[in-house]
Amino acid sequence: MATAARDRETKGKVFGYRVEQPGVIPGRFALTADTNAWDECTSCPEFDSCYRFSSGKLMMEVAARN
């Protein structure tokens, strides 16, 4: 996973987030979703394979951090 810089957006094809860090302690964050990009992804014949791969990768990253 990417590390978010102060007040910068981290974005993938569909989902993203923005972290607002006024100082040392992380502040608020906002999630974003591009519904047009999501519709494009779900209409792709490779969607199931891509979704499963992305989900597995995310689960492994979460497990490695805990």
pLDDT of residue 38: 95
33, 18 Cβ separation under 8 angstroms: no
User: pLDDT tens digits, residue range 21-46?
Assistant: 756 776 778 889 999 999 999 999 99
In a domain, 38, yes or no: yes
CA atoms within 13 A on the CB side of 31: 4
Q: Token pair for residue 3?
A: 């590390």
In a domain, 60, yes or no: yes
pLDDT of residue 33: 94
Q: How many helices and strands, by DSSP H and E, does the chain display?
A: 2, 3
Q: What's the domain range around 20?
A: 9-65
Task: Give the count of domains, the chain.
Answer: 1
Residue 60: which H helix or E strand, with range? Answer: helix 47-65
User: 35-42 and 47-65 helices cross at what angle (nearest 10)?
Assistant: 120
pLDDT of residue 66: 76
